[in-house]
C-alpha cells in the first residue's frame, strides 16, 4: 500500500482503506492550530486583494524586516521561503554530494531533500524505552563523520524537545568538526513560554541554521510561509539558490498582521497545555502510551494490544476519526498513531471513541 507521506489527506486515507464516508469526520492527522486562523487575519486578507495585480518585491525587503524584528535578529540573517519545505530543500542543496545525519523518527522531508541533492544519510533512532529522549552522546560520536545534522525541535512526530544544553553541546562539537546543525523549529510557537527558542544563539554559533514556519500556529498551511534564520554568509548562499519570487505577494502582505498576534499565540499556548493535561490524564487511565509531548501532537499506542495498531487505526477511521499513520516514519513502522490536539469537543470525541475501543476488549 502506498501510504501518504504527510497528514492532512483524509480522503486519500479513506480511499486506501476502502471506507466510504461523507465529510462528517474529524481530521486528527494534520498538526495545525484548531483555534485559528486569528480573526484579524480575515480583514488583512481581504485588503490583500489589492495586491493581486502587483509583483511582489523580489527582495522582500519590508517583509523580511518584519520577520527579523519578530525574531529579534538582523534582516541580513533572515530569508523568507515558500513554506518550511522550501527552506529544507534550499539548505540541503548547500551540501550537495556530502554527508548528513538525521535523528529518526522525524519529518520525512529532510531525507527526501538529501536524496534530491545526493547527500548520503546516516540515521540515529530515538527509542520509546528512553521516552524518545535525545541521544546526545550517540549524536556527538557521529558528527565527525558528517557535514550536516538535521534536528527537529520540537520533534515531529514525538512532540519532544531537545534540551538547550544538549543543543549547545552539539553546536560546540559542530564547530570543532566543521559540521552544520540545521534545527527545524516549525512548531516552536506551540511550546510553553518557559522553553526558549534558539534564535538568540545565531550570533554565537556560525554553524547554526534555524528553520521556521508561520503556517502551523496560524492555521494557514495553504498559504506556504516559512523562513530561515542563520548567519549572514549562509543566508547569502541560500538566496543565490532560491528561485525568483518564491514567496507570493499575498502572503507577504498579511505579514504585518501575523507578526502582531502575540496575544493569539499566548492564548494558544495556554489552551494547549490545558488540553494536553486532560488528554494525557485520560489516556493514562485507559492504558494507552503517549509520547511525552509538549506541543499540539503526540504518538499513541495501546499498551494492552501493542500488536493491534492497524486494527485501532481502522477502528478510528470507521468512527469518523482520521489519525496519522506512522508507516513512513523510520523507526516507527506503523506501530504507533500520531494524533493532533484538536478542539476540546473533538478531543472528547476521540477519548469517547477510545473508551469504546477499550470496552470492546473487556
**With bands split at pLDDT 50, 70 and 90, how would you rate the model's confidence at 45?**
confident
Question: Is the preceding omega at residue 322 within 30 degrees of 0, hence cis?
Answer: no
CA–CA dist 188, 198 (Å, integer): 9
pLDDT, tens digit (0-9, with 9 covering 90-100), for 89-112: 999 999 999 999 999 999 999 999
pLDDT, tens digit (0-9, with 9 covering 90-100), for 285-344: 999 999 999 999 999 999 888 778 999 998 998 898 889 888 888 889 889 999 999 999
pLDDT at position 51, please? 77
**With bands split at pLDDT 50, 70 and 90, how would you rate the model's confidence at 7?**
very low
Q: Half-sphere exposure of residue 295, counting CA atoms within 13 Å on the CB side?
A: 28
Among the listed residues 72, 27, 53, 54, the one whose alpha carbon sits nearest the alpha carbon of residue 221: 27
pLDDT at position 8, please? 47
How far, rounded to the nearest angstrom, does the alpha carbon of residue 274 sit from its chain's CA centroid? 21
Three state DSSP letters for the chain: CCCCCCCCCHHHHHHHCCCCCCCCCEECCCCCCCCCCCCHHHHHHHHHHHHCCCCCCCCCHHHHHHHHHHHCCCHHHEEEECHHHHHHHHHHHCCCCCEEEEEECCCCHHHHHHHHCCCEEEEEECCHHHCCCCCHHHHHHHHHHCCEEEEECCCCCCCCCCCHHHHHHHHHHHHHHCCEEEEECCCHHHCCCCCCCCHHHCCCCCCEEEEEECCCCCCCHHHCCEEEEECHHHHHHHHHHCCCCCCCHHHHHCHHHHCCCHHHHHHHHHHHHHHHHHHHHHHHHHCEEECCCCCCEEEEEECCCHHHHHHHHHHHHHCCEECECCCCCCCCCCCCEEEECCCHHHHHHHHHHHHHHHHHHC
pLDDT, tens digit (0-9, with 9 covering 90-100), for 112-142: 999 999 999 999 999 988 989 999 999 999 9
pLDDT at position 182, please? 98
* Domains, the chain: 10-30+262-361 (3.90.1150.10), 50-258 (3.40.640.10)
Please give the average per-residue pLDDT across 76-87, as a whole number.
95
Distances (CA, A) of 292 to 123, 167, 297, 326, 332: 22, 19, 10, 17, 16
What is this structure's pTM? 0.92
Please give the average per-residue pLDDT across 49-65, as a whole number.
87
CA–CA dist 323, 9 (Å, integer): 10
How far, rounded to the nearest angstrom, does the alpha carbon of residue 70 sit from its chain's CA centroid? 19
Q: Residue for cell digits 478531543?
A: 347
CA–CA dist 198, 196 (Å, integer): 6
Please give the average per-residue pLDDT across 44-54, as a whole number.
81
CA–CA dist 309, 242 (Å, integer): 42
Amino acid at each position: 500500500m502506498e501510504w501518504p507521506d504527510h497528514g492532512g489527506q483524509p480522503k486519500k486515507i479513506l480511499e486506501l482503506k476502502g471506507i466510504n464516508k461523507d465529510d462528517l469526520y474529524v481530521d486528527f492527522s494534520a498538526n495545525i492550530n484548531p483555534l485559528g486562523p486569528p480573526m484579524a487575519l480575515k480583514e488583512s486578507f481581504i485588503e490583500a486583494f489589492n495586491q493581486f495585480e502587483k509583483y511582489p518585491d523580489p527582495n522582500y525587503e519590508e517583509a523580511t524586516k518584519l520577520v527579523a524584528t519578530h525574531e529579534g535578529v538582523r534582516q541580513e540573517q533572515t530569508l523568507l521561503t515558500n513554506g518550511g519545505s522550501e527552506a529544507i530543500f534550499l539548505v540541503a542543496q548547500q551540501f550537495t554530494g556530502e554527508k548528513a545525519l538525521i535523528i529518526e523518527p522525524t519529518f520525512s522531508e529532510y531525507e527526501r531533500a538529501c536524496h534530491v541533492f545526493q547527500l548520503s544519510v546516516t540515521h540515529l533512532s530515538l527509542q520509546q524505552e528512553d521516552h524518545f529522549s535525545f541521544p546526545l552522546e550517540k549524536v556527538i560520536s557521529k558528527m565527525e563523520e558528517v557535514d550536516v545534522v538535521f534536528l527537529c525541535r520540537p520533534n515531529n512526530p514525538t512532540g519532544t524537545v531537545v534540551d538547550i544544553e544538549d543543543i549547545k553541546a552539539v553546536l560546540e562539537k559542530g564547530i570543532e568538526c566543521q559540521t552544520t546543525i540545521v534545527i527545524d523549529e516549525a512548531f516552536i510557537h506551540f511550546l510553553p513560554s518557559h522553553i526558549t527558542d534558539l534564535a538568540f544563539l545565531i550570533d554565537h554559533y556560525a554553524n547554526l541554521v534555524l528553520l521556521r514556519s508561520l503556517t502551523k500556529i496560524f492555521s494557514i498551511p495553504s498559504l506556504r510561509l516559512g523562513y530561515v534564520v542563520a548567519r549572514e554568509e549562509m543566508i547569502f548562499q541560500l538566496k543565490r539558490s532560491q528561485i525568483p519570487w518564491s514567496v507570493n505577494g499575498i502572503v507577504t502582505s498579511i505579514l504585518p498582521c501575523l507578526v502582531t498576534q502575540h496575544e493569539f499565540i499566548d492564548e494558544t499556548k495556554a489552551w494547549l497545555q490545558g488540553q494536553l493535561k486532560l488528554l494525557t490524564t485520560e489516556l493514562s487511565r485507559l492504558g494507552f502510551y503517549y509520547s511525552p509531548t509538549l506541543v499540539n501532537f503526540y504518538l499513541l499506542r495501546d499498551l494492552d494490544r501493542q500488536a493491534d495498531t492497524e486494527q485501532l487505526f481502522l477502528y478510528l477511521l470507521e468512527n469518523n476519526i482520521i489519525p496519522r499513520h506512522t508507516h513512513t516514519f523510520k523507526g516507527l513502522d506503523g506501530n504507533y498513531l500520531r494524533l493532533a490536539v484538536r478542539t476540546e469537543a473533538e478531543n472528547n470525541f476521540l477519548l469517547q471513541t477510545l473508551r469504546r475501543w477499550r470496552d470492546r476488549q473487556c
